[in-house]
Amino acid sequence: MDGIELNYQGKKDEDEILGSVSNAKTIKLGKNPTYISGDNFAVMSSLLASGYSGSVDLIYIDPPFNTNQVFNVNDGRVSTISRNGSIVAYSDDLKPFEYLEFIRERLILMRELLSEKGSIYLHIDCKMGHYVKMIMDEVFGAENFLNDIARIKSNPKNFKRPAYGNQRDMVLFYAKNKGNNIFNNITQGLTEKEIESKFKKIDKDGRRYNTVPVHAPGETTTGETGGYWRDMLPPKGRHWRTSPKELDKLDKAGLIEWSKNGVPRIKKYADEHKGKKIQDIWNYIDPAYPLYPTEKNLDMLKMIVRQSSNQNSLVMDCFAGSGSTLLAAEQTGRKWLGIDQSEYSAKVVKERFSKIKFDYIEFTNANGEAIEKESATIESVESLATADIRSLAQAKLAI
Ligand SMILES: C[S@@+](CC[C@H](N)C(=O)[O-])C[C@H]1O[C@@H](n2cnc3c(N)ncnc32)[C@H](O)[C@@H]1O
C-alpha cells in the first residue's frame, strides 16, 4: 500500500535478499515431478539462478505459524509434546520479527518464481496473519490482493479463556498480476441439505426440482421476449425469460409446469444445477489422524489446484510437510515441485507417494549446508518404505 510499510528489527533490503541468487549454485529439474529435501531459501535461490524464474503457475504454502512450538511424532502420532523416542518433524520457535523476515525473504523469491499468470495462497493463523498480510502487500503489491479467506479448521470447541472460540484460520490469496491470473471458476456442489430445501418437488422419476417464473424483471417493447406467447403477454414490467420459440421447446420437453389456473413455470432439476460460486469462507476440516503435524485438508488443496492452475502448470509447495499439495497436484494431473527441510517430511512423502514416479533431490545436510547432492528417480515407493533413499541414488547432481 502506497506510503504504508511494516517496520521491524532486522528487515533487509530487497536487493540484499535477491543477491543470494547470484551466489547460488545451479540445479536442473527433470521431466518428473520433484521433491527437494533442503532449506527452501537455498533451493529457491538455486532455482532462480538456474533460469526457473517465471515458471511456477501456482504456489500454496502453509509455513510454520510462529507458534513457539516444536512439532513431534511419537509412535506415529503427531503431537507438540516431546517424549522419549520422539522424532522432531519441525520446530517453529523464531522471535516474531525473525519470523516475519524469514517469511518475507522467501516470499520475495517466490514472487520471482511465479509466472505472469501465477498466484499464491498463503495459509496462516489469525495471530500472525495480519502482519503477514502487510508483508504480502509489500512483496506482491496491494493491488494484487485477491482474497483473505476464512478457513473453518475445526468443529466448535469449548475454550476456557474469556474470549470467543477460534474455529478458523486464514488463507491469503494474491495474484502475480491481478486480472491475468489463472482462475477456472470452479464451483461447489450443493449439499444434501441445500438440495432438499431448494428443490422440494419430486417428479415421477424421483428427480428433485423446483420451478421459476417464465418471465424475469425488465420490460422490452422491441424484442420477441416482450411479445405474445400462447396468447399471453409477459406481466407488466417483465419479459419472457427466453424467446417464445424456446418456451415452446421447453414445454414440449416437459420442462414447463402448468398450475391448475394455467400459470406456467420453468422446471429446474437439482441434478442439473451447475454448483455455487465459491465464497471466501471455506469449510475444510483437517484430518483427525494426520500423517504429519498440521497436515492440511486434501480436498481444499485439490480445489485450489483446480481453481488456480491448468493441466500444464507447475505447482509448488516449498513448505511441503506431508506432501498434501503435491498429492493434490498429482491427482489433478499437474506437475509439482515440493521442498521441505524436515527429514520426517521426506520420509512421509516417500511412503505416501506409493506408485508415483518422482525425482527426489537432497539439497542440504542436517545443518542446512549445501552439499554435493544425490538425486534419484523414485518409481515405486513400496520398495522405498524400508530402503535408505541414499542407497537408491542413481546420479550425482552438482549444485
Ligand atoms: C505447517 S507444516 C506444512 C504442513 C503441510 N501443509 C501439510 O499439509 O502437511 C510447515 C512445514 O514447513 C517446513 N519448513 C519450515 N522451515 C522451512 C525451510 N526453511 N525450508 C523448507 N521447509 C521448511 C517444516 O519442516 C514443515 O514441514
Amino acid occupying residue 59: I
Asked if residue 9 is part of any domain, the answer here is no
168 and 221 co-located in one domain: no
56 and 203 co-located in one domain: no
In this structure, are strands 187-188 and 276-277 parallel, antiparallel, or unpaired?
A: antiparallel
364 lines ligand 1 (CB under 6 A): no
Contacts of residue 88, defined as CB under 8 A and 6 or more positions apart, other chains included, come to 70, 71, 72, 82, 344
Q: How far is CA 139 from CA 106, 109, 110, 188, 396, in A?
A: 10, 10, 10, 31, 36
194-224 pLDDT, tens digit per residue, is 999 999 999 999 999 999 999 999 988 888 9
- pLDDT more than 70, % of the chain: 89
252 and 325 co-located in one domain: no
Asked if residue 302 is part of any domain, the answer here is yes
Nearest Cα residue to atom 26 of ligand 1: 321
Nearest Cα residue to atom 21 of ligand 1: 340
Nearest Cα residue to atom 4 of ligand 1: 321
- Burial level of 383, CB count in 10 A (0-12/13-18/19+)? exposed
Nearest Cα residue to atom 7 of ligand 1: 295
178 and 228 co-located in one domain: no
Rounded average pLDDT over 383-392? 35
Q: What nine digits make up the cell of 315?
A: 505447482
Asked if residue 149 is part of any domain, the answer here is yes
206 and 343 co-located in one domain: no
Q: How many Cβ atoms from other residues are within 10 Å of residue 221's Cβ?
A: 7
Q: Confidence band (pLDDT; 50, 70, 90) for 66? A: confident
Report CA(63)–ligand 1 centroid distance (Å).
Answer: 5
Q: What nine digits make up the cell of 4?
A: 504504508
307 and 163 co-located in one domain: yes
Choose the weakest-confidence range: 54-68, 83-97, 366-380. 366-380
Asked if residue 7 is part of any domain, the answer here is no
135-176 pLDDT, tens digit per residue, is 999 999 999 999 999 999 988 888 888 999 999 999 999 999
Asked if residue 326 is part of any domain, the answer here is yes
Rounded average pLDDT over 235-263? 95
40 and 114 co-located in one domain: yes
The CATH number assigned to the domain holding 286 equals 3.40.50.150
pLDDT of residue 74: 75
Report CA(190)–ligand 1 centroid distance (Å).
Answer: 33
Which of 234, 236, 229 is closest to 251 using CA atoms? 229
163 and 58 co-located in one domain: yes
Give the domain-ending residue among 241, 272, 303.
272
258 and 350 co-located in one domain: no
> 135 φ, ψ to 5°?
-65, -40
Give the residue, 373 or 18, on which the prediction is more confident.
Answer: 18
How many domains does one find in the chain?
A: 2
107 and 142 co-located in one domain: yes
Does residue 15 carry a pLDDT above 70? yes
Q: Where are the beta strands (DSSP E) in 105-222?
A: 114-124, 145-152, 168-175, 187-188, 201-202, 208-213, 215-217
Determine contact, residues 21/49, Cβ cutoff 8 Å: yes
Give the domain-ending residue among 272, 305, 324.
272
Report CA(58)–ligand 1 centroid distance (Å).
Answer: 17
79 and 128 co-located in one domain: yes
Provide the whole-model pTM: 0.85
Give the residue, 224 or 89, on which the prediction is more confident.
Answer: 224
Report CA(299)–ligand 1 centroid distance (Å).
Answer: 19
Give the domain extent around 160.
14-186+278-397
72 lines ligand 1 (CB under 6 A): no
Asked if residue 1 is part of any domain, the answer here is no
319 lines ligand 1 (CB under 6 A): yes
Q: Please give the full DSSP string across 238-256, using - where no structure is assigned.
A: EEESS-HHHHHHHHHTT-E
Q: How far is CA 78 from CA 84, 89, 288, 322, in A?
A: 14, 9, 11, 12
Half-sphere exposure at residue 61, Cβ-oriented, CA atoms within 13 angstroms: 22
Report CA(279)–ligand 1 centroid distance (Å).
Answer: 27
Does residue 368 carry a pLDDT above 60? no
Pocket test for ligand 1, best of 35, 66, 91, 345 (most atoms within 8 A of CB): 345
pLDDT of residue 396: 31
The per-residue b/e assignment along 182-200, b for 16 or more CB within 10 angstroms, e otherwise, is beeeeeeebeeeeeeeebe
Give the domain-ending residue among 243, 272, 301.
272
Nearest Cα residue to atom 6 of ligand 1: 62
Asked if residue 4 is part of any domain, the answer here is no
User: Containing H/E element for 138?
Assistant: helix 129-140
Which of 93, 87, 124, 17 is closest to 348 using CA atoms? 87
pLDDT of residue 385: 34
62 and 159 co-located in one domain: yes
Q: Confidence band (pLDDT; 50, 70, 90) for 365? A: low
Q: Which long-range contacts (CB under 8 A, 24 or more apart) does 187-193 make?
A: 187/274, 187/275, 187/276, 187/277, 187/278, 188/275, 188/276, 188/277, 188/278, 189/273, 189/275, 189/276, 190/270, 190/273, 190/275, 190/276
Give the residue, 180 or 155, on which the prediction is more confident.
Answer: 180
pLDDT of residue 90: 76
Q: Confidence band (pLDDT; 50, 70, 90) for 234? A: very high
Asked if residue 8 is part of any domain, the answer here is no
Q: Confidence band (pLDDT; 50, 70, 90) for 32? A: very high
Closest-lying ligand 1 atom to the alpha carbon of residue 321:
27
Report CA(71)–ligand 1 centroid distance (Å).
Answer: 11
Report CA(62)–ligand 1 centroid distance (Å).
Answer: 7
